[in-house]
Structure 1
């Protein structure tokens, strides 16, 4: 259950596929994923009842995944490595498919916002656009034009923007940019191979973000250690998943379960509607993948 890397890779693939480019990225804050949001943290009771006393570690893991998939909303933050490259995500999303947050890697950051079923908004900083232009070997003059056009603006894109032209298939492992904004879509990767969470053992109880948690751990034959932290108070939600592997370690933290998520589109004067301008997100230009953003 490589949930950490799958979450991070899916997020970055979805974002970069919109522009038809291969790499993007960033860094913000102190570079550390926070365990939970500071807003309205649950308070741990002094002696919480052991709701998992009669359950095996594997049964608790299965229950945690099922409970998390049934949530109406949550915030997910994560940091990890994929093929040696650091990636970070910070997203708040709900079951209706609305979301807001940031995806970062390789020196730049892209903001995502989705407030209805038809459109997704994305805004990258200059480092983001420079990085993806360099990765895709976009000529300097064309890259400069792309940065100038998109600087400080939100790109408005169709929710299925990452679907491959002519095939109807998505270039994203999660079925489209909009899919990663859905609670069920983002958590689905946990069930790609349920066998990966078979053979868990219970560890010492702990507290994650003020919530009592049971620790479940599995060490595989390749030395990779998977640790799941499951809430013992309230619904059995996942609070954190830590995947320690030699090549692609990472951590994903969940917070703010079932809180209302209100998201509004950005101001119209800050939006660049690619469809109205005749641009094709992800189509490529033949000389760098920046579509119709030509100098």
Structure 2
């Protein structure tokens, strides 16, 4: 039976670090569209700084989906691009160049073997095992996928992810409230001791961007928009030893 070293899934597991970092420390870096200060930045904020944490937490918990993307540096570099909903999730997690495509369909989880993950797993190049694994999806119901459900739930289950990131901002103390824009959307900019949060100016007050100097950036978009995820075709699911 094929058994992966614990480090083989570190690329995916590293997302837990990202979640923790976001929960306790809003992130920083250069966003895809840098926030632009509005000319009327001195105008009173619609949302009081004292209510920001509760507002973004409540909005996220009432939504049913979100698109999360960003880069975080913490014992390496983690890049992610995930679409999450209450019924499923899809996307890619990349830890120091090791890419791990992931899926969730209700209670079933998958990861796919890429060239970089096969190399990280220590599988010899040119072996017959590589041919069996390359570009194949491994489900949590398989022997070699046992345990990935518990690990992946941290970042692929919508409620678990939100509670551990945006939801935890409810206890963070913010200040400010200057008007700005992020990717064309009107936002209010709030600061905390750990970083900066950009929040949708209009209700619901969704969190759109988290920044932390020297740590990274996390973008949140497409809140409450439909996310469709389906099981991979049977031909793309791993069927070798340990399946």
Offset from partner CA, 1:101-133 (integer Å, 9 cap, x none): 00112223111122232x222113111221243
Q: Which of 51, 59, 75 lines up with 1:67 in the alignment?
A: 59
Q: Which of 11, 14, 17 lines up with 1:24 in the alignment?
A: 11
CA distance in structure 2 between the aligned counterparts of 1:19 and 1:69, rounded to whole angstroms? 35
Higher helix share: 2
Unaligned stretches of 5+ residues in structure 2? 13-29, 34-39
1:91 and 2:82 correspond: yes
TM-score by length of 1: 0.62
Look up the match of 2:27: none
Q: Which of 212, 215, 233 lines up with 2:202 in the alignment?
A: 233
Look up the match of 2:20: none
Number of aligned pairs?
213
Q: Which of 219, 234, 243 lines up with 1:268 in the alignment?
A: 234
Which secondary structure does the structure 1 equivalent of 2:58 belong to? helix
CA distance in structure 1 between the aligned counterparts of 2:129 and 2:216, rounded to whole angstroms? 32
Which secondary structure does the structure 1 equivalent of 2:227 belong to? coil
Which secondary structure does the structure 2 equivalent of 1:103 belong to? strand
Cα distance 1:110–1:215, how it changes in 2: closer, same or farther (>3 A)?
A: same
Unaligned stretches of 5+ residues in structure 1? 1-17, 26-31, 36-46, 164-169, 220-224, 280-295
Cα distance 1:185–1:33, how it changes in 2: closer, same or farther (>3 A)?
A: farther
CA distance in structure 1 between the aligned counterparts of 2:182 and 2:100, rounded to whole angstroms? 28
CA contact (8 A) 2:57 2:169 kept: no
CA contact (8 A) 2:99 2:117 kept: yes
Which secondary structure does the structure 1 equivalent of 2:209 belong to? strand
Which secondary structure does the structure 2 equivalent of 1:176 belong to? helix
CA contact (8 A) 1:161 1:177 kept: no
